[in-house]
């Protein structure tokens, strides 16, 4: 068991908190406050207990000097201050005298946010490559370290693993703890029947998670682009749909070994090109995709089939969309799956992956899910059964 924030004595301590403030920004405005709001319980706990909260995060990718202008965390400091209804000291540096002095001057219960950790990537990728000197330096700024950024837990960066390896005491924040416990519940002790729904474009992106879930779940529903590779493996016509030729043998292997578990779409909504257009459905033979068209979503028979598989589920895990959700005509399948899970009153349901989460949010269904995961790649690697470096580096109880 890893230490959690509740195991720490925080009063009077300089508490380094790695959060995930990698928020979407459009025309100088933050378009979703979800990540900021998710971090509040941990930050509030530190300041309410008289700790000095030294908060930091990455924001986007920094490849050249010009990127810094649009990727400053100052805009987040202003929003965080509003959310907490107290001053947030913002330091526009990632190291140096100005930052050190500001931390030294902090009083108990104050909050300081320093600049985007990825600004250090201009210094030979010091953050992303976990430069030992940088991790040691950041660790020297505090007494204890709390990691509350699940979104980057699958990466060994200076701002998570680097600090944790160089500080006397480290623990998980509330958000990280919540993610680990929700995903562990699905993997380790799922109430059955356990139905997993995996979507998204490619098998290669999710090979590990598909194999892991085929072992653990009672049924695995496969939708999205990866379904066409499975359909081709079964000998169906898939037209111009996305296919991974080098994964057809693997799909055949899965279909043989887990034929009673895998559930595939039985009809398709297609288009003539990869853009939003009217849905074309092969009414005579729904399983076959017409030549000259490409699959862009599932259609009504698949939705009925998937709903039937979900009916008695006690544990549901959903990761990845059923179609191209950025096209308004092809988000129908994803939204219908969201509605089907929404209606399950006594199932433990967990959702992860940007597009499926976005579909659930746009329908206002977040409250119906037992857990909405904040980490894309991190939740996938966790579900594959991998140990995530950002979690592994935290001290055990």
Read off φ and ψ for residue 234, nearest 5 degrees: -85, -5
pLDDT band (50, 70, 90) for residue 375:
confident
pLDDT, residue 379, reads 87
pLDDT digits (tens, 9 = 90+) for 39-67: 999 999 999 999 999 999 999 999 999 99
Pick out the residues of the known binding site for ATP: 206, 295, 326, 353-356
pLDDT, residue 202, reads 83
pLDDT, residue 143, reads 98
pLDDT, residue 376, reads 77
pLDDT digits (tens, 9 = 90+) for 179-234: 999 999 998 989 999 999 999 888 788 888 899 999 999 999 999 999 999 999 99
pLDDT, residue 288, reads 95
Pick out the residues of the known binding site for substrate: 20-22, 35, 58-61, 118, 155
Range among 109-118, 197-206, 378-387 with highest mean pLDDT value: 109-118
The active-site residue, picked from 109, 208, 376, 377, is: 377
How much is the mean pLDDT over the chain? 94
Find, among 86, 19, 8, 10, the residue nearest to 52 by Cα. 10
The active-site residue, picked from 202, 272, 300, 339, is: 202
Q: Write down the pTM of the prediction.
A: 0.87
Rounded Cα distance, 48 and 279, in Å: 54
Q: In the numeric block, which tokens belong to residue 242?
A: 């996305």
Pick out the residues of the known binding site: 20-22, 35, 58-61, 118, 155, 206, 295, 326, 353-356
Rounded Cα distance, 90 and 113, in Å: 5
Known active-site residue 235: no
Known active-site residue 135: no
pLDDT, residue 206, reads 85
pLDDT band (50, 70, 90) for residue 130:
very high
The active-site residue, picked from 35, 216, 261, 331, is: 35
- For residue 384, count other CB atoms closer than 10 A to its CB: 17
Known active-site residue 333: no
Residue-range domains of the chain with CATH: 5-172 (3.40.50.1260), 182-383 (3.40.50.1260)
Looking at the predicted structure, is the pLDDT value of residue 354 above 80?
Answer: no
pLDDT band (50, 70, 90) for residue 168:
very high
Residues 6+ apart with CB under 8 A from 132: 162
Known active-site residue 397: no
pLDDT digits (tens, 9 = 90+) for 87-98: 999 999 999 999
Average of per-residue pLDDT across 240-245? 94
pLDDT digits (tens, 9 = 90+) for 287-344: 999 999 999 999 999 999 999 999 999 999 999 999 999 999 999 999 999 999 999 9
pLDDT, residue 147, reads 98
Average of per-residue pLDDT across 348-368? 84
């Amino acid at each position: 068991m890893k230490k959690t924030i509740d195991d720490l004595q925080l009063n009077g301590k300089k508490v380094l908190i790695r959060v995930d403030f990698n928020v979407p920004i459009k025309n100088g405005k933050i378009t979703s406050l979800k990540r900021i709001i998710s971090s509040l319980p941990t930050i509030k706990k530190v300041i309410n207990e008289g700790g000095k909260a030294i908060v930091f995060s990455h924001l986007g990718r920094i490849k050249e000097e010009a990127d810094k202008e649009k990727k400053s965390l100052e805009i987040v400091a202003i929003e965080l201050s509003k959310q907490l209804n107290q001053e947030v000291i913002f330091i526009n540096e990632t190291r140096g005298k100005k930052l050190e002095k500001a931390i030294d001057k902090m009083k108990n219960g104050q909050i300081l946010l320093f600049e985007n950790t990825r600004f250090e990537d201009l210094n030979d990728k010091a953050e992303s490559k976990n430069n030992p000197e940088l991790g040691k330096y950041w660790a020297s700024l505090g007494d204890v370290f709390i990691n509350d950024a699940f979104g980057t837990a699958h990466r060994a960066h200076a701002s998570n693993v680097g600090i944790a390896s160089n500080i006397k005491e480290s623990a998980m924040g509330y958000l990280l703890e919540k993610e680990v416990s929700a995903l562990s519940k699905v993997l380790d002790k799922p109430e059955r029947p356990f139905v997993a729904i995996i979507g998204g474009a490619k098998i290669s992106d999710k090979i590990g998670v598909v194999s892991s879930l085929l072992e653990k779940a009672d049924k695995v529903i496969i939708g999205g682009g990866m379904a066409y590779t499975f359909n081709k493996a079964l000998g169906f016509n898939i037209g111009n749909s996305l296919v991974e030729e080098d994964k057809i043998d693997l799909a055949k292997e899965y279909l043989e070994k887990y034929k009673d578990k895998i559930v595939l779409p039985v009809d398709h909504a297609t288009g003539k090109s990869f853009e939003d257009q009217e849905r074309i459905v092969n009414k005579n033979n729904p399983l076959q995709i017409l030549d000259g068209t490409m699959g862009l979503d599932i259609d009504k028979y698949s939705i009925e089939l998937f709903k039937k598989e979900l009916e008695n589920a006690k544990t549901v895990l959903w990761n990845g969309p059923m179609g191209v959700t950025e096209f308004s005509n092809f988000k129908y399948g994803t939204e219908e799956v969201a509605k089907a899970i929404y209606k399950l009153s006594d199932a433990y349901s967990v959702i992860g992956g940007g597009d499926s989460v976005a579909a659930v949010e746009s329908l206002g269904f977040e409250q119906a899910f037992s857990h909405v995961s904040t980490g894309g790649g991190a939740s996938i690697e966790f579900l594959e059964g991998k140990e995530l470096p950002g979690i592994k580096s935290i001290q055990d109880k």
